[in-house]
Amino acid sequence: DSLYAVLPEEVRNNRTLLSTMQIVDNIKGLPPAPFVTFTGGDPAIQDEVAPLIYHLNLAGMKVAVETQGQYFPDWLEICDVLTFSPKGPSSGNIVEIRDLELYLQNWMFSRPFKACIKVVVFDEHDFEYAMEVYREIPSVMYDSFYFTAGTPMTAESPLERTALVLQNE
């Protein structure tokens, strides 16, 4: 990420605050795209996303959301595609597979959205976790399952250098 996207001071200095309808109007002004996608930080913990998704639907736009699969607000049901990306051991924030399975179980036969599962793998422990997710959640509960290789953050990456600077301040 560029510094203006990760440093709180830079975010404050470079952001533009918009109402729900201003956001929808701005998106309408863009060239057509198959989806409007919401992703990290986890959109499922942001209550203010619900009215935006509702208005995007009313405007005839398809909505995709990527969430870690730990929170399941009601507004997820009005999305077109949900990608659940549970975090493995290397994240330090392991998502309980059973919670995700129980949520998907509710929709096994009448799911109004396409469901994908994507597990990012950084090391062998994450791979074991990804395999456990794959074995534990029956394939009738999702449309696609992805194993994605994670890109480790090193002291050479801009984001890690930023984190080191913030720690030293």
**pLDDT higher for 160 or 78?**
78
Find, among 136, 89, 134, the residue nearest to 116 by Cα: 134
Q: Confidence band (pLDDT; 50, 70, 90) for 162?
A: very low
Going from the C-alpha of 138 to that of each of 48, 82, 108, 130, the distances in angstroms are 32, 17, 10, 14
Q: Confidence band (pLDDT; 50, 70, 90) for 165?
A: very low
Find, among 11, 10, 4, 1, the residue nearest to 39 by Cα: 1
Q: Which of 12-21, 87-96, 134-143 has the highest mean pLDDT?
A: 134-143
- pLDDT of 104-153, one tens digit each? 998 878 888 999 999 999 999 999 999 999 999 999 999 999 999 988 76
pLDDT at 164: 47
| C-alpha atoms less than 13 angstroms from C-alpha of 12 in its C-beta half-sphere | 3
Q: Which range is least confidently modeled, 13-17, 76-80, 84-88?
A: 13-17
Helix (H) or strand (E) holding 132: helix 124-136
